[in-house]
Structure 1
Amino acid sequence: MQAATLNTPDPAPALLPHLLRALRAVVGREIGRFLRQPSRLGSALVRPLLWFVVFSAGFHNVFGVAIAPPYETYVEYKEYMVPGLLGMVALFNGMQSSLSMVYDREMGVMRLLLTAPLARGWLLAFKLLAGTALSVLQMVVFLAIAWAFGVELPLLHLPAALLAMVCGAVMLASVGLVFSVYVKQLENFAGTMNFVIFPMFFISPALYPLWKLEESGAWWLLKLAQANPFTHAVEAIRFAMYGQFNTTAWAVVLGCTVVFFVAALWGYDPQRGSISKKPGG
């Protein structure tokens, strides 16, 4: 009896190594696939760089004289644009991660992953971390390029800015996670991406301050922008870059991250969520 008790395996100590192996497999697969395709980094940066170069030149004299928090003096328009374009990188990569999940589902990889002997929440969290890691990598590269173009950012506040970038990327990756539940086929994904990305990006302070909307009397656009989670991701990054803490922005970013992740977790539950339904159903 005593020998049988001693020979009984204890599953608890094996959980952490199992989680680490799963984390390395999921996140490592996504990062490895990204690094094997250098063109993905180039294509991901072309869009924000084009906006950065063209818009900063074209609108330099339009938005270059604004003084509004977190700025304490006049800033050039290219400096104002940087947080919004960092958010753009994370937004597009979040949707790209969603596309990757739709592709994996069609190829059967997602079904295989979800049958692994781990709680579904852990697996989706690892996919979320993989998308976040790719977003932050691209955001850091873009930030370095912006610095090379003459955008001076206080190095003292760089850790806070990096934390805000990570949290914003997690939230936007969780948005992509939710959309991967409801987009059933690859051919439907492009239209859905455009329907989500462009309203979120343009109805936000990414390219212009919200007081411009208030000044022009576009109250309904102002309300939409204030309700837009992307707005608060951008503002959290913007304020963090200058050593300030925007309480509202951080509350919305963290709250939306939880809500979107729970929605994705519910959707990927085969007993309750939409993932159990057939594409034609």
Structure 2
Amino acid sequence: MASILIHRLRALRAVCGREMRKYFRQPGRLLSSLVRPLLWLLVFAAGFQNALGVAIAPPYDTYIEYKVYVAPGLLGMIALFNGMQSSLAMVYDREMGVMRLLLTAPLPRGWLLGCKLAAGTVLSLLQMAAFLLVAAAFGIRFASLHLLAGVGAMALAALMLGALGLLLSVHVRQLENFAGTMNFVIFPMFFISSALYPLWKLQESGAQVVYQLARFNPFTHAVEAIRFALYGQLAPQSLAIVAGSAAVFFVLALQGYDPQRGMARRGRPA
């Protein structure tokens, strides 16, 4: 039993170590991952400051600046884009034959895919931490204890979005088709959510269809879980939805990578 556990931990270390080495050999990846959220923070937040007022609503107990409101949504943006980047890496590894070697290792397929998911989650957390450091320089700060609680919510959100990327990698069979699929997933998830504006704004403006779509968007709940955690509060419904979505995405991805019954075996190259 101990030898099996050691063997699995070695696999986890090997997969995570490979992803970390790849990441730190490309310092531009960290900078590029911060460009999008910082652009929203420094440019769009300044423009929307007076256009989008944020009422006193949980988890806030006073009026806040728009840049403070949007910060949790930008943390979610980082996890979303990194999840899609991980999916792209999976498609690339499959084309290069790396995934075939990995999945033929004498370990459960679920553990191997879980190792890939864990590596992507750690990378997301590193990028989120870097963003929080930069945001602090612009006056966006959270209590230290609340940040510790926020790490758990951010990790759960990163797991869910990484599992979604894992599922997408089952269906995207060629690198050439990845950009269109990624845009089809990223932009609706991000814009039809509470990342950039409160849901009550949508309801108040009469956009009922968009409001209902945002309510059922798992990314909305990932952002809300992070937002509440950064203020020392729990959002149990959002946490449950994010955890449930992560489990569903991972199980579907696991079936897709099963050559006996999965979608990867039956589907033709997209």
Q: TM-score range by the shorter chain?
A: over 0.9
1:175 alignment partner in structure 2: 164
The alignment status of 1:147 with 2:136, answered yes or no, reads yes
Q: How big is each residue's C-alpha offset from its partner over 1:44-101, in whole Å with a ceiling of 9 and x where there is no partner? A: 1111111111111101112344211110000000000100000000000000000000
The Cα shift of 1:152 comes to 2.4
2:248 pairs with 246, 256, 259, which one?
259
> Mean alpha-carbon deviation: is it higher for 156-165 or for 206-215?
156-165
Alignment of 1:4-83 (within 5 A): 12-83=1-72
2:181 pairs with 192, 200, 203, which one?
192
Name the SS for the 2:63 alignment partner. Answer: coil
Q: How big is each residue's C-alpha offset from its partner over 1:86-144, in whole Å with a ceiling of 9 and x where there is no partner? A: 00000000000000000000000001100000000000000000110110100010011
2:77 alignment partner in structure 1: 88
Residues 230 and 278 of structure 1, relative CA distance in 2, 3 Å threshold: closer
Letter of the aligned partner of 2:252 in structure 1?
A
The Cα shift of 1:158 comes to 1.1
Q: Which runs of 4+ in 1 moved over 6 A?
A: none
Paired residues of 1:99 and 1:180 also in contact (CA < 8 A): yes
Letter of the aligned partner of 1:156 in structure 2?
L
Unmatched runs of 5 consecutive residues or more in structure 1: 1-11
The alignment status of 1:276 with 2:265, answered yes or no, reads yes
1:233 pairs with 189, 204, 222, which one?
222
Distance of 1:43 and 1:152 partners within structure 2: 23
2:211 pairs with 222, 225, 228, which one?
222
Paired residues of 2:54 and 2:198 also in contact (CA < 8 A): no
Distance of 1:137 and 1:280 partners within structure 2: 34
Say which one has the larger Rg.
1
Distance of 2:194 and 2:175 partners within structure 1: 31
Q: Percent identity between the aligned chains?
A: 67
How many equivalent residue pairs?
270
Distance of 2:100 and 2:150 partners within structure 1: 37
Paired residues of 1:185 and 1:279 also in contact (CA < 8 A): no
Name the SS for the 1:63 alignment partner. Answer: coil
Distance of 2:250 and 2:166 partners within structure 1: 7
Distance of 2:264 and 2:99 partners within structure 1: 11
2:155 alignment partner in structure 1: 166
Distance of 1:79 and 1:207 partners within structure 2: 11
* TM-score, length of structure 2 as denominator length: 0.98
Paired residues of 1:174 and 1:257 also in contact (CA < 8 A): yes
1:128 alignment partner in structure 2: 117
* TM-score, length of structure 1 as denominator length: 0.94
> Mean alpha-carbon deviation: is it higher for 82-91 or for 16-25?
16-25
